[in-house]
Amino acid sequence: MNKGQVSIIIPVYNSEVYIQDTLQSILAQRYQHWECLCVDDGSTDSSLALLRSFALKDKRINVVSRPDHLPKGGNSCRNYGFSKTSGEFVQWFDSDDLMHPEMLSAKVEQLQRYEDYNYVICRTAYFYDDRIDERSFYDQHLDTDNIYVDYLTFKTKFFTPGPLFRRDFLHPMELFNQGLKRHQEKEFFFRVVLRDKRYRIVDEAFILRRMHHDQLSENVNRSADKSKFEFVANVFNYENFVLSQVRDRSVTIYFKDFFFKYIRRFVREGNFKYAVRSLYRYIKIIVRNQG
Protein backbone atom coordinates (compact mmCIF):
# COMPACT_ATOMS: atom_id res chain seq x y z
CA MET A 1 0.00 0.00 0.00
CA ASN A 2 1.31 3.40 -0.99
CA LYS A 3 0.97 5.63 2.08
CA GLY A 4 -0.71 8.97 1.48
CA GLN A 5 -1.57 8.15 -2.12
CA VAL A 6 -5.12 8.50 -3.44
CA SER A 7 -6.26 5.87 -5.95
CA ILE A 8 -8.80 7.46 -8.31
CA ILE A 9 -10.80 4.78 -10.15
CA ILE A 10 -12.91 5.73 -13.17
CA PRO A 11 -15.08 3.38 -15.27
CA VAL A 12 -15.16 4.65 -18.85
CA TYR A 13 -17.63 3.80 -21.60
CA ASN A 14 -18.02 5.98 -24.70
CA SER A 15 -17.09 9.14 -22.83
CA GLU A 16 -15.11 10.91 -25.56
CA VAL A 17 -17.11 14.12 -25.16
CA TYR A 18 -16.40 14.53 -21.43
CA ILE A 19 -13.40 12.47 -20.34
CA GLN A 20 -10.83 15.12 -21.23
CA ASP A 21 -12.50 17.67 -18.95
CA THR A 22 -12.67 15.07 -16.17
CA LEU A 23 -8.98 14.21 -16.41
CA GLN A 24 -8.00 17.88 -16.63
CA SER A 25 -9.85 18.48 -13.36
CA ILE A 26 -7.80 15.67 -11.77
CA LEU A 27 -4.53 17.04 -13.11
CA ALA A 28 -5.45 20.41 -11.60
CA GLN A 29 -5.68 19.01 -8.04
CA ARG A 30 -3.61 20.83 -5.44
CA TYR A 31 -2.97 17.44 -3.79
CA GLN A 32 -0.65 15.74 -6.26
CA HIS A 33 0.03 12.35 -4.62
CA TRP A 34 -2.49 10.34 -6.60
CA GLU A 35 -2.80 7.62 -9.19
CA CYS A 36 -5.70 7.49 -11.63
CA LEU A 37 -6.80 4.18 -13.12
CA CYS A 38 -9.27 4.40 -16.00
CA VAL A 39 -11.03 1.10 -16.68
CA ASP A 40 -12.43 0.98 -20.19
CA ASP A 41 -15.68 -0.96 -20.45
CA GLY A 42 -15.48 -1.73 -24.17
CA SER A 43 -15.84 1.77 -25.60
CA THR A 44 -16.62 2.00 -29.32
CA ASP A 45 -15.77 5.69 -29.69
CA SER A 46 -12.40 7.43 -29.27
CA SER A 47 -12.40 7.23 -25.45
CA LEU A 48 -9.62 4.65 -25.29
CA ALA A 49 -7.34 6.66 -27.59
CA LEU A 50 -7.93 9.80 -25.52
CA LEU A 51 -7.16 7.95 -22.30
CA ARG A 52 -3.92 6.59 -23.72
CA SER A 53 -2.86 10.05 -24.85
CA PHE A 54 -3.26 11.33 -21.28
CA ALA A 55 -1.39 8.31 -19.92
CA LEU A 56 1.56 9.04 -22.21
CA LYS A 57 1.80 12.58 -20.82
CA ASP A 58 1.46 11.72 -17.11
CA LYS A 59 2.64 8.42 -15.63
CA ARG A 60 0.14 8.73 -12.76
CA ILE A 61 -2.66 8.00 -15.24
CA ASN A 62 -3.04 4.35 -16.24
CA VAL A 63 -5.47 2.68 -18.59
CA VAL A 64 -6.74 -0.90 -18.50
CA SER A 65 -9.64 -2.72 -20.09
CA ARG A 66 -12.23 -4.70 -18.19
CA PRO A 67 -11.34 -8.40 -18.52
CA ASP A 68 -13.75 -10.38 -20.69
CA HIS A 69 -14.64 -12.78 -17.88
CA LEU A 70 -16.17 -9.94 -15.84
CA PRO A 71 -19.70 -8.73 -16.57
CA LYS A 72 -20.00 -5.50 -18.49
CA GLY A 73 -20.79 -2.38 -16.47
CA GLY A 74 -19.46 0.21 -14.08
CA ASN A 75 -19.73 -2.12 -11.07
CA SER A 76 -17.23 -4.58 -12.51
CA CYS A 77 -14.92 -1.77 -13.60
CA ARG A 78 -14.89 -0.19 -10.15
CA ASN A 79 -14.21 -3.50 -8.43
CA TYR A 80 -11.50 -4.45 -10.91
CA GLY A 81 -9.91 -1.03 -10.56
CA PHE A 82 -9.80 -1.44 -6.80
CA SER A 83 -7.86 -4.69 -7.19
CA LYS A 84 -5.32 -3.04 -9.50
CA THR A 85 -4.51 0.04 -7.40
CA SER A 86 -2.51 0.47 -4.22
CA GLY A 87 -3.17 3.91 -2.72
CA GLU A 88 -3.87 4.31 0.99
CA PHE A 89 -7.08 6.12 0.05
CA VAL A 90 -9.69 5.21 -2.58
CA GLN A 91 -11.71 7.71 -4.60
CA TRP A 92 -14.26 6.42 -7.09
CA PHE A 93 -15.17 8.90 -9.79
CA ASP A 94 -17.30 9.09 -12.93
CA SER A 95 -16.05 9.84 -16.42
CA ASP A 96 -18.24 12.90 -16.98
CA ASP A 97 -17.95 14.64 -13.58
CA LEU A 98 -15.49 17.30 -12.40
CA MET A 99 -13.36 17.79 -9.27
CA HIS A 100 -12.76 21.15 -7.64
CA PRO A 101 -8.97 21.72 -7.37
CA GLU A 102 -9.17 21.50 -3.56
CA MET A 103 -11.20 18.29 -3.38
CA LEU A 104 -8.50 15.70 -2.74
CA SER A 105 -6.54 18.00 -0.47
CA ALA A 106 -9.55 18.71 1.74
CA LYS A 107 -10.55 15.06 2.03
CA VAL A 108 -7.08 13.69 2.69
CA GLU A 109 -6.49 16.35 5.34
CA GLN A 110 -9.59 15.16 7.20
CA LEU A 111 -8.58 11.48 7.21
CA GLN A 112 -5.02 12.26 8.21
CA ARG A 113 -6.19 14.48 11.06
CA TYR A 114 -8.95 12.14 12.29
CA GLU A 115 -7.37 8.70 12.16
CA ASP A 116 -10.32 6.93 13.79
CA TYR A 117 -12.61 7.79 10.85
CA ASN A 118 -12.76 5.48 7.84
CA TYR A 119 -14.22 7.83 5.26
CA VAL A 120 -14.97 11.46 4.54
CA ILE A 121 -17.68 12.91 2.29
CA CYS A 122 -17.84 16.21 0.47
CA ARG A 123 -20.94 17.75 -1.01
CA THR A 124 -21.96 17.52 -4.66
CA ALA A 125 -23.54 20.12 -6.94
CA TYR A 126 -25.37 19.30 -10.16
CA PHE A 127 -24.37 21.07 -13.33
CA TYR A 128 -25.63 21.19 -16.87
CA ASP A 129 -23.63 22.24 -19.90
CA ASP A 130 -24.87 25.79 -19.48
CA ARG A 131 -25.34 26.28 -15.73
CA ILE A 132 -24.68 25.02 -12.19
CA ASP A 133 -27.55 24.27 -9.81
CA GLU A 134 -26.12 26.01 -6.76
CA ARG A 135 -28.98 24.79 -4.57
CA SER A 136 -28.40 21.10 -5.18
CA PHE A 137 -25.58 20.52 -2.71
CA TYR A 138 -27.78 21.63 0.19
CA ASP A 139 -30.16 18.72 -0.40
CA GLN A 140 -27.88 15.85 0.63
CA HIS A 141 -28.58 16.08 4.37
CA LEU A 142 -25.16 14.67 5.27
CA ASP A 143 -25.14 16.13 8.77
CA THR A 144 -27.64 13.79 10.42
CA ASP A 145 -28.09 12.31 13.87
CA ASN A 146 -29.72 9.16 12.49
CA ILE A 147 -27.95 8.04 9.33
CA TYR A 148 -29.78 4.69 9.15
CA VAL A 149 -33.25 6.22 9.09
CA ASP A 150 -32.35 9.17 6.89
CA TYR A 151 -30.45 7.04 4.39
CA LEU A 152 -33.14 4.38 4.15
CA THR A 153 -35.82 7.01 3.62
CA PHE A 154 -33.79 8.77 0.90
CA LYS A 155 -33.34 11.92 2.95
CA THR A 156 -29.55 11.56 3.18
CA LYS A 157 -27.90 11.14 -0.22
CA PHE A 158 -24.44 9.82 -1.06
CA PHE A 159 -23.15 10.12 -4.61
CA THR A 160 -20.49 7.83 -6.06
CA PRO A 161 -17.65 10.41 -6.06
CA GLY A 162 -18.67 11.89 -2.69
CA PRO A 163 -16.68 9.71 -0.24
CA LEU A 164 -12.95 9.17 0.07
CA PHE A 165 -12.25 5.84 1.82
CA ARG A 166 -9.37 4.27 3.62
CA ARG A 167 -8.41 1.20 1.60
CA ASP A 168 -8.10 -0.91 4.76
CA PHE A 169 -11.76 -0.21 5.54
CA LEU A 170 -12.91 -1.47 2.14
CA HIS A 171 -10.75 -4.60 1.94
CA PRO A 172 -13.05 -6.95 3.93
CA MET A 173 -16.18 -5.77 2.09
CA GLU A 174 -17.94 -6.97 -1.00
CA LEU A 175 -17.67 -3.87 -3.14
CA PHE A 176 -20.19 -2.98 -5.85
CA ASN A 177 -22.78 -5.68 -6.54
CA GLN A 178 -22.11 -6.75 -10.12
CA GLY A 179 -25.58 -8.26 -10.41
CA LEU A 180 -27.37 -4.93 -9.99
CA LYS A 181 -28.13 -2.71 -12.97
CA ARG A 182 -29.48 0.27 -11.05
CA HIS A 183 -28.99 1.85 -7.63
CA GLN A 184 -25.82 -0.19 -7.15
CA GLU A 185 -24.08 2.79 -5.56
CA LYS A 186 -26.88 3.31 -3.07
CA GLU A 187 -26.86 -0.37 -2.15
CA PHE A 188 -23.09 -0.26 -1.68
CA PHE A 189 -23.21 2.86 0.50
CA PHE A 190 -25.97 1.30 2.57
CA ARG A 191 -23.59 -1.53 3.43
CA VAL A 192 -20.90 1.05 4.17
CA VAL A 193 -23.03 2.79 6.80
CA LEU A 194 -23.95 -0.58 8.28
CA ARG A 195 -20.24 -1.17 8.86
CA ASP A 196 -19.50 2.33 10.13
CA LYS A 197 -22.05 5.10 10.46
CA ARG A 198 -19.47 7.73 11.41
CA TYR A 199 -17.88 9.90 8.76
CA ARG A 200 -16.27 13.29 8.39
CA ILE A 201 -17.89 15.98 6.24
CA VAL A 202 -16.18 18.50 3.98
CA ASP A 203 -18.89 21.13 3.84
CA GLU A 204 -18.14 22.31 0.32
CA ALA A 205 -19.52 21.28 -3.07
CA PHE A 206 -16.18 20.03 -4.37
CA ILE A 207 -17.76 17.71 -6.95
CA LEU A 208 -19.69 18.85 -10.00
CA ARG A 209 -22.00 16.09 -11.14
CA ARG A 210 -22.94 16.43 -14.78
CA MET A 211 -26.64 16.16 -15.53
CA HIS A 212 -27.70 15.35 -19.07
CA HIS A 213 -30.92 16.79 -20.44
CA ASP A 214 -32.27 13.34 -21.30
CA GLN A 215 -32.21 12.56 -17.58
CA LEU A 216 -35.20 14.87 -17.21
CA SER A 217 -37.51 12.86 -19.47
CA GLU A 218 -40.61 11.09 -18.19
CA ASN A 219 -39.31 7.66 -19.23
CA VAL A 220 -36.07 8.15 -17.30
CA ASN A 221 -37.96 9.35 -14.23
CA ARG A 222 -40.21 6.30 -14.42
CA SER A 223 -37.15 4.09 -14.69
CA ALA A 224 -35.70 5.86 -11.65
CA ASP A 225 -38.87 5.03 -9.71
CA LYS A 226 -38.44 1.34 -10.48
CA SER A 227 -34.79 1.67 -9.55
CA LYS A 228 -35.75 3.09 -6.17
CA PHE A 229 -38.13 0.17 -5.67
CA GLU A 230 -35.38 -2.32 -6.51
CA PHE A 231 -33.09 -0.72 -3.95
CA VAL A 232 -35.65 -0.75 -1.14
CA ALA A 233 -36.61 -4.33 -1.99
CA ASN A 234 -32.94 -5.27 -1.91
CA VAL A 235 -32.61 -3.71 1.54
CA PHE A 236 -34.61 -6.65 2.82
CA ASN A 237 -31.54 -8.79 2.27
CA TYR A 238 -30.49 -7.06 5.48
CA GLU A 239 -33.94 -7.10 7.08
CA ASN A 240 -32.66 -8.54 10.37
CA PHE A 241 -30.75 -5.31 10.74
CA VAL A 242 -33.27 -2.93 9.25
CA LEU A 243 -36.35 -4.00 11.18
CA SER A 244 -34.80 -5.34 14.37
CA GLN A 245 -31.76 -3.17 15.06
CA VAL A 246 -33.03 0.08 13.58
CA ARG A 247 -35.74 0.50 16.17
CA ASP A 248 -37.37 3.57 14.75
CA ARG A 249 -41.07 3.67 14.01
CA SER A 250 -40.52 6.11 11.15
CA VAL A 251 -38.59 3.46 9.19
CA THR A 252 -41.39 0.91 9.57
CA ILE A 253 -44.00 3.49 8.58
CA TYR A 254 -41.89 4.59 5.63
CA PHE A 255 -41.46 1.04 4.31
CA LYS A 256 -45.17 0.28 4.67
CA ASP A 257 -46.18 3.47 2.88
CA PHE A 258 -43.50 2.97 0.25
CA PHE A 259 -44.55 -0.53 -0.78
CA PHE A 260 -48.27 0.27 -0.60
CA LYS A 261 -47.72 3.26 -2.90
CA TYR A 262 -45.92 1.04 -5.39
CA ILE A 263 -48.60 -1.65 -5.24
CA ARG A 264 -51.09 0.90 -6.52
CA ARG A 265 -48.68 2.40 -9.07
CA PHE A 266 -47.65 -0.92 -10.59
CA VAL A 267 -51.28 -2.09 -10.80
CA ARG A 268 -52.18 1.12 -12.66
CA GLU A 269 -49.29 0.51 -15.07
CA GLY A 270 -50.22 -3.15 -15.55
CA ASN A 271 -46.89 -4.26 -14.09
CA PHE A 272 -48.28 -7.12 -12.01
CA LYS A 273 -44.88 -8.72 -11.35
CA TYR A 274 -43.73 -5.68 -9.40
CA ALA A 275 -47.18 -5.28 -7.82
CA VAL A 276 -46.95 -8.80 -6.37
CA ARG A 277 -43.41 -8.17 -5.12
CA SER A 278 -44.56 -4.96 -3.45
CA LEU A 279 -47.47 -6.76 -1.79
CA TYR A 280 -45.14 -9.50 -0.55
CA ARG A 281 -42.80 -6.94 1.05
CA TYR A 282 -45.74 -5.04 2.53
CA ILE A 283 -47.19 -8.18 4.16
CA LYS A 284 -43.75 -9.12 5.46
CA ILE A 285 -43.46 -5.83 7.33
CA ILE A 286 -46.96 -6.20 8.80
CA VAL A 287 -46.28 -9.76 10.00
CA ARG A 288 -42.90 -8.86 11.50
CA ASN A 289 -44.32 -5.92 13.42
CA GLN A 290 -47.22 -7.95 14.75
CA GLY A 291 -44.68 -10.49 16.04
pLDDT given for residue 216 in this prediction: 40
> pLDDT tens for residues 10-36?
999 999 999 999 999 999 999 999 999
CATH homologous superfamily of 2-211: Spore Coat Polysaccharide Biosynthesis Protein SpsA; Chain A (3.90.550.10)
Helix axes 272-290, 218-235, angle to 10 degrees: 30
Strands annotated E in the chain: 2-12, 34-40, 61-65, 87-92, 98-99, 119-127, 132-133, 163-166, 200-210
DSSP-assigned states of every residue in 155-167:
SS---TTSEEEEH
pLDDT given for residue 220 in this prediction: 39
pLDDT band of 135, cuts 50, 70, 90: low
Range 274-286 average pLDDT: 74
More confident residue, 107 or 256: 107
pLDDT at 240 over 60: no
Residues 6+ apart with CB under 8 A from 101: 25, 28, 29, 30
pLDDT at 57 over 90: yes
Check: CB of residue 32 under 8 Å from CB of residue 58. no
Domain boundaries, the chain: 2-211, 217-290
Residue 220, CA atoms < 13 Å, CB-side half-sphere: 7
Radius of gyration of the chain (CA): 20
pLDDT at 134 over 80: no
More confident residue, 88 or 241: 88
pLDDT given for residue 226 in this prediction: 57
pLDDT given for residue 244 in this prediction: 53
Among residues 73, 201, 219, 197, the alpha carbon closest in space to that of 147 is found at 197
Choice among 198-207, 208-217, 264-273 with the minimum mean pLDDT: 208-217
